[in-house]
Amino acid sequence: MIEVKHIKKTFGDKTIIDDVSVKMDSGKCNLIIGSSGSGKTVFMKCLVGLFVPDAGEILYHGQDFIQMNGPEKKEIRKQIGMLFQGSALFDSLTVEKNVMFPLNMFTTDSYRQKLKRVNEVLDRVNLEGANKKFPAELSGGMKKRVGIARAIVLNPQYLFCDEPNSGLDPLTSLVIDRLIKEITLEYKITTVVNTHDMNSVMEIGDHIIYMHQGLKEWEGTNKEIIFSKNDKLNEFIFASEFLKDAKDMRMLEMSGKIDNDRNMDDIMNNDAPFDVSQ
Ligand SMILES: Nc1ncnc2c1ncn2[C@@H]1O[C@H](COP(=O)(O)OP(=O)(O)O)[C@@H](O)[C@H]1O
Ligand SMILES: [Mg+2]
């Protein structure tokens, strides 16, 4: 679990992150959503220590990351996997060497041990046998999968993905989203994903945090988002007429499955409103 308490980050006189507090559980995909420039990347960089917040606390295992000394921070960093926007693979290194990179940095394992682990994670992302390929030979989706393999090679407890679907077609995006979700569940990782992809929100949004002008404007699940009455959130997420109609349809469809004596407000005030699969 990661617990963020009253984080504030400014650049000059501009407040980018304004008093944001949030708890992110393990085994969950925690999605940070918001329009471009709303502070998602800055927030994520604060969480992983690439930016130092001006105020607040970031608790890993209940300990404040900001206050930790160098070796303590390194210990936490070892438990963090990151999938960067655009995958950020080393173009001159093979897939195998890219994925082995964190093992070379953080472990004293033998080459055999490292290769075994690299092959395990390449299998996990369905890229067995791609060891000797170079990034230029891979499709966008494959590059992301190499990025995911590299992010999980150290068996992290925390996984951060900044816009994992940028540049991917909708179907490939779905494959990547599902892979992130599966890995999160399988290894009980606390996963944080920055996205503005509506499909991801509905597909993997266990816990959604909507950022607007540096503030946490709304948080909830992908089931609750359909019923949200937050105007800013609705404007952002259901931006097109098509999606507004889809939301209305879904609300109607779901409300038809609700007991007659429960009204919408009851549902919104309930953590686990109802089972939509029924
Ligand atoms: N290193 C930086 N120095 C100054 N301003 C920055 C820096 N990084 C980001 N910003 C500003 O912070 C705001 C939020 O940026 P960002 O977190 O990248 O947005 P998002 O990821 O939601 O699109 C933007 O206005 C951006 O210009
Ligand atoms: Mg960003």
SS (H, E, C) the chain: CEEEEEEEEEECCEEEEEEEEEEECCCEEEEEECCCCCCHHHHHHHHHCCCCCCEEEEEECCEECCCCCHHHHHHHHHCEEEECCCCCCCCCCCHHHHHHHHHHHHCCCCHHHHHHHHHHHHHHCCCCCCCCCCHHHCCHHHHHHHHHHHHHCCCCCEEEEECCCCCCCHHHHHHHHHHHHHHHHHCCCEEEEEECCHHHHHHHCCEEEEEECCEEEEEECCCHHHHCCCHHHHHHHCCCHHHHHHHHHHHHHHHCCCCCCCCHHHHHCCCCCCCCCC
17's CB contacts (< 8 A; 6+ apart) are 7, 8, 9, 39, 42, 43, 46, 53, 214
Ligand 2 being an ion, which residues bring their Cβ within 5 A of it?
40-41
Average pLDDT, consecutive stretches of 10 residues, N- to C-terminus, the chain (278 residues) = 97 96 97 94 95 96 93 93 87 97 95 97 94 96 95 96 92 93 96 91 93 95 89 86 79 66 51 41
Among 9, 41, 84, which residue has the most ligand 1 atoms within 8 Å of its CB, making it the best to mutate? 41
The atom number, within ligand 1, closest to the CA of 163 reads 21
3's CB contacts (< 8 A; 6+ apart) are 22, 23, 24, 57, 58, 59, 62
- For residues 176 and 60, what is the distance between their CA atoms, to the nearest angstrom? 26
Name the closest ligand to CA 35: 1
CA separation, residue 176 to residues 48, 49, 201 (Å): 22, 25, 13
Amino acid 242: pLDDT: 77
Question: Ligand 1 center to residue 209 CA distance, Å?
Answer: 18
Name the closest ligand to CA 12: 1
Q: Bridge partners of 63?
A: 60
Identity of the amino acid at 7? I
> Nearest C-alpha to atom 25 of ligand 1 is from which residue?
37
Question: Ligand 1 center to residue 233 CA distance, Å?
Answer: 20
Sole residue written with tokens 């988002």: 225
The atom number, within ligand 1, closest to the CA of 34 reads 22
Question: Which domains does the chain show, CATH number per domain?
Answer: 2-221 (3.40.50.300)
Name the closest ligand to CA 86: 2
> Nearest C-alpha to atom 16 of ligand 1 is from which residue?
39
- For residues 166 and 185, what is the distance between their CA atoms, to the nearest angstrom? 23
Q: Which residues line ligand 1 (CB under 6 A)?
A: 11, 16, 34, 36-42
- For residues 250 and 100, what is the distance between their CA atoms, to the nearest angstrom? 45
How many CA atoms are closer than 13 Å to the CA of 204, on its beta-carbon side? 31
Do 203 and 209 meet the contact criterion of CB atoms below 8 Å apart? Answer: no
Question: Ligand 1 center to residue 194 CA distance, Å?
Answer: 13
> Nearest C-alpha to atom 5 of ligand 1 is from which residue?
11
Does this model's pTM top 0.75? My answer is yes
Question: Ligand 2 center to residue 175 CA distance, Å?
Answer: 21
Question: Ligand 2 center to residue 217 CA distance, Å?
Answer: 17
> Nearest C-alpha to atom 20 of ligand 1 is from which residue?
37
